[in-house]
Amino acid sequence: MLQLPNGRVLFSDWSTQLHAYTPTGSPLADGKPTIHSITWNGDGSLHLTGTLLNGISSGASYGDDLQMDSNYPLVRLSRGANGYYARTHHWSSTSVATGSQVLSTEFYLPAGLTPGSYSLVVVANGLPSNPVSFYGPVWVDFNYGGFFEFGTFPLPYKTLGSGVSAVAAGGAIMLKPSASTELMTISKPMTIHTPGGPARIGAGH
Protein backbone atom coordinates (compact mmCIF):
# COMPACT_ATOMS: atom_id res chain seq x y z
CA MET A 1 0.00 0.00 0.00
CA LEU A 2 1.10 3.55 -0.68
CA GLN A 3 -0.48 6.79 0.54
CA LEU A 4 -0.95 9.02 -2.52
CA PRO A 5 -0.73 12.82 -2.50
CA ASN A 6 -4.45 13.14 -3.31
CA GLY A 7 -5.50 11.21 -0.17
CA ARG A 8 -6.19 7.88 -1.89
CA VAL A 9 -4.29 4.68 -1.10
CA LEU A 10 -2.70 2.61 -3.86
CA PHE A 11 -2.81 -1.15 -3.21
CA SER A 12 -1.05 -4.03 -4.94
CA ASP A 13 -1.74 -7.71 -4.22
CA TRP A 14 1.51 -8.77 -5.94
CA SER A 15 -0.30 -9.36 -9.23
CA THR A 16 -0.47 -7.10 -12.29
CA GLN A 17 -3.64 -5.51 -10.90
CA LEU A 18 -3.48 -2.24 -8.94
CA HIS A 19 -6.30 -0.92 -6.76
CA ALA A 20 -6.98 2.60 -5.50
CA TYR A 21 -8.93 3.06 -2.28
CA THR A 22 -10.79 6.33 -1.78
CA PRO A 23 -11.65 6.99 1.87
CA THR A 24 -15.05 8.37 2.85
CA GLY A 25 -15.78 11.15 5.29
CA SER A 26 -13.62 14.14 6.09
CA PRO A 27 -9.89 14.16 6.87
CA LEU A 28 -8.90 14.49 10.51
CA ALA A 29 -8.64 18.23 11.15
CA ASP A 30 -5.86 17.74 13.72
CA GLY A 31 -3.65 16.22 11.02
CA LYS A 32 -3.87 19.12 8.58
CA PRO A 33 -0.55 20.87 7.87
CA THR A 34 -0.24 24.64 7.83
CA ILE A 35 2.07 26.99 5.94
CA HIS A 36 3.68 29.80 7.92
CA SER A 37 6.05 31.34 5.36
CA ILE A 38 7.73 30.86 1.98
CA THR A 39 10.96 32.72 1.25
CA TRP A 40 13.58 32.61 -1.51
CA ASN A 41 17.02 31.12 -0.96
CA GLY A 42 20.11 32.49 -2.65
CA ASP A 43 20.40 29.54 -5.03
CA GLY A 44 16.93 29.97 -6.52
CA SER A 45 15.26 27.38 -4.30
CA LEU A 46 12.64 28.23 -1.69
CA HIS A 47 12.34 27.75 2.06
CA LEU A 48 8.94 26.78 3.48
CA THR A 49 8.05 26.71 7.16
CA GLY A 50 4.92 25.39 8.82
CA THR A 51 3.46 22.83 11.19
CA LEU A 52 2.62 19.14 10.75
CA LEU A 53 4.56 19.02 7.49
CA ASN A 54 5.15 15.27 7.94
CA GLY A 55 1.63 14.33 9.01
CA ILE A 56 0.53 12.45 12.10
CA SER A 57 1.69 9.00 11.01
CA SER A 58 4.49 7.51 8.93
CA GLY A 59 2.09 6.66 6.11
CA ALA A 60 0.60 3.33 5.04
CA SER A 61 1.47 0.00 6.61
CA TYR A 62 0.40 -3.63 6.24
CA GLY A 63 0.57 -5.23 9.64
CA ASP A 64 4.19 -5.75 10.69
CA ASP A 65 5.16 -6.95 7.20
CA LEU A 66 5.39 -3.78 5.17
CA GLN A 67 5.70 -0.08 5.99
CA MET A 68 5.43 2.43 3.14
CA ASP A 69 6.64 5.55 4.89
CA SER A 70 5.77 8.94 3.41
CA ASN A 71 6.41 11.18 6.42
CA TYR A 72 7.91 14.04 4.45
CA PRO A 73 6.33 17.16 2.93
CA LEU A 74 5.23 17.52 -0.68
CA VAL A 75 4.69 20.89 -2.37
CA ARG A 76 1.97 21.12 -5.01
CA LEU A 77 1.18 24.09 -7.23
CA SER A 78 -1.96 24.41 -9.31
CA ARG A 79 -3.15 26.83 -11.94
CA GLY A 80 -6.46 26.19 -13.62
CA ALA A 81 -6.68 22.50 -14.47
CA ASN A 82 -2.89 21.99 -14.31
CA GLY A 83 -1.04 20.69 -11.27
CA TYR A 84 2.71 20.60 -10.58
CA TYR A 85 4.86 19.07 -7.85
CA ALA A 86 8.05 20.69 -6.63
CA ARG A 87 11.11 18.70 -5.50
CA THR A 88 11.47 19.01 -1.74
CA HIS A 89 14.75 18.35 0.06
CA HIS A 90 16.59 18.97 3.33
CA TRP A 91 13.55 18.46 5.55
CA SER A 92 14.25 19.77 9.04
CA SER A 93 12.65 16.64 10.51
CA THR A 94 10.80 13.46 9.58
CA SER A 95 9.14 13.13 12.99
CA VAL A 96 5.36 12.75 12.94
CA ALA A 97 2.60 14.25 15.08
CA THR A 98 4.81 17.24 15.92
CA GLY A 99 1.91 19.46 16.97
CA SER A 100 2.77 23.18 17.03
CA GLN A 101 6.49 22.63 16.39
CA VAL A 102 7.61 24.68 13.37
CA LEU A 103 9.23 22.50 10.68
CA SER A 104 10.78 23.45 7.36
CA THR A 105 11.65 22.12 3.94
CA GLU A 106 13.53 23.46 0.94
CA PHE A 107 12.07 23.02 -2.53
CA TYR A 108 12.84 23.68 -6.17
CA LEU A 109 10.14 24.78 -8.59
CA PRO A 110 9.43 22.42 -11.50
CA ALA A 111 11.52 23.10 -14.59
CA GLY A 112 9.65 25.14 -17.16
CA LEU A 113 7.10 26.54 -14.72
CA THR A 114 5.69 29.59 -16.48
CA PRO A 115 5.38 32.97 -14.73
CA GLY A 116 2.04 33.77 -13.16
CA SER A 117 -0.14 33.23 -10.13
CA TYR A 118 -0.47 29.76 -8.61
CA SER A 119 -2.24 28.17 -5.68
CA LEU A 120 0.33 26.41 -3.48
CA VAL A 121 -0.27 23.78 -0.80
CA VAL A 122 1.97 21.55 1.28
CA VAL A 123 0.76 17.95 1.45
CA ALA A 124 1.39 15.58 4.37
CA ASN A 125 0.39 11.97 3.72
CA GLY A 126 -2.35 12.95 1.29
CA LEU A 127 -3.75 15.78 3.41
CA PRO A 128 -3.19 19.29 1.95
CA SER A 129 -2.86 22.55 3.83
CA ASN A 130 -4.98 25.57 3.05
CA PRO A 131 -3.74 27.09 -0.20
CA VAL A 132 -1.61 30.23 -0.39
CA SER A 133 -1.00 32.42 -3.43
CA PHE A 134 2.37 32.05 -5.10
CA TYR A 135 3.79 33.90 -8.09
CA GLY A 136 5.93 31.89 -10.47
CA PRO A 137 9.17 33.79 -11.13
CA VAL A 138 10.14 35.57 -14.34
CA TRP A 139 13.59 34.61 -15.66
CA VAL A 140 15.92 37.10 -17.37
CA ASP A 141 19.24 36.36 -19.10
CA PHE A 142 21.03 39.31 -20.71
CA ASN A 143 23.17 36.84 -22.71
CA TYR A 144 20.21 34.92 -24.12
CA GLY A 145 20.38 34.78 -27.91
CA GLY A 146 17.23 32.85 -28.72
CA PHE A 147 14.19 34.12 -30.60
CA PHE A 148 11.38 33.07 -28.24
CA GLU A 149 11.13 34.88 -24.90
CA PHE A 150 8.55 33.53 -22.45
CA GLY A 151 10.21 34.37 -19.14
CA THR A 152 10.85 30.71 -18.29
CA PHE A 153 14.21 29.24 -17.31
CA PRO A 154 14.96 27.78 -20.80
CA LEU A 155 13.33 30.70 -22.69
CA PRO A 156 14.07 33.79 -20.58
CA TYR A 157 13.63 37.45 -21.40
CA LYS A 158 16.70 39.27 -22.72
CA THR A 159 16.16 42.55 -20.91
CA LEU A 160 15.24 43.58 -17.39
CA GLY A 161 12.61 45.89 -18.86
CA SER A 162 10.78 42.92 -20.36
CA GLY A 163 10.99 41.07 -17.06
CA VAL A 164 9.68 44.02 -15.09
CA SER A 165 6.77 44.42 -17.49
CA ALA A 166 5.84 40.74 -17.18
CA VAL A 167 6.20 40.19 -13.43
CA ALA A 168 3.16 40.65 -11.19
CA ALA A 169 3.33 43.13 -8.33
CA GLY A 170 4.94 41.32 -5.40
CA GLY A 171 6.43 38.68 -7.70
CA ALA A 172 10.05 37.71 -8.31
CA ILE A 173 12.54 38.15 -11.14
CA MET A 174 15.41 35.68 -11.39
CA LEU A 175 18.54 36.95 -13.17
CA LYS A 176 20.96 34.50 -14.69
CA PRO A 177 24.68 35.43 -14.44
CA SER A 178 25.08 38.20 -17.04
CA ALA A 179 25.44 41.97 -17.39
CA SER A 180 23.37 44.76 -18.91
CA THR A 181 23.79 48.52 -19.34
CA GLU A 182 20.06 49.14 -18.84
CA LEU A 183 19.00 52.11 -16.73
CA MET A 184 15.41 52.09 -15.59
CA THR A 185 13.01 52.97 -12.80
CA ILE A 186 11.02 50.19 -11.12
CA SER A 187 7.69 51.43 -9.82
CA LYS A 188 6.03 48.27 -8.48
CA PRO A 189 7.07 45.96 -5.63
CA MET A 190 9.10 42.90 -6.61
CA THR A 191 12.09 40.85 -5.55
CA ILE A 192 15.12 40.37 -7.81
CA HIS A 193 17.38 37.36 -7.22
CA THR A 194 20.60 36.16 -8.85
CA PRO A 195 20.61 32.46 -7.89
CA GLY A 196 23.35 31.25 -10.23
CA GLY A 197 25.94 33.94 -9.60
CA PRO A 198 26.37 37.72 -9.89
CA ALA A 199 24.43 39.78 -12.43
CA ARG A 200 25.12 43.45 -13.12
CA ILE A 201 22.73 46.17 -14.20
CA GLY A 202 23.60 49.74 -15.24
CA ALA A 203 26.35 51.65 -16.98
CA GLY A 204 28.82 51.35 -14.12
CA HIS A 205 29.76 47.71 -14.61
Domain co-membership, 101 together with 130: yes
Lowest mean pLDDT among 29-33, 56-60, 100-104, 120-124: 56-60
Q: Which of 135, 156, 191 is the last residue of a domain?
A: 135
Stretch 33-60: mean pLDDT: 88
pLDDT above 90 for 65: no
Per the prediction, the chain carries an average pLDDT of: 87
Q: Which of 91, 109, 135 is the last residue of a domain?
A: 135
pLDDT of 139-174, one tens digit each? 999 999 999 999 988 889 999 999 999 998 888 899
- Full-model pTM: 0.79
Q: Kindly list the distances between the CA atom of residue 68 and the CA atoms of 10, 11, 59, 61, 201, in Å, as whole numbers in the listed order.
A: 11, 11, 6, 6, 50
| CATH number of the structural domain spanning residue 117 | 2.60.40.350
Residue numbers of the domain that contains 191: 137-205
In a domain, 17, yes or no: no
**pLDDT classification of 35: cutoffs 50, 70, 90:** very high
Which DSSP string do the residues of 150-174 spell out, in sequence order? -SSSSS-BSSHHHHHHHSPTT-EEE
Q: Which of 120, 135, 150 is the last residue of a domain?
A: 135
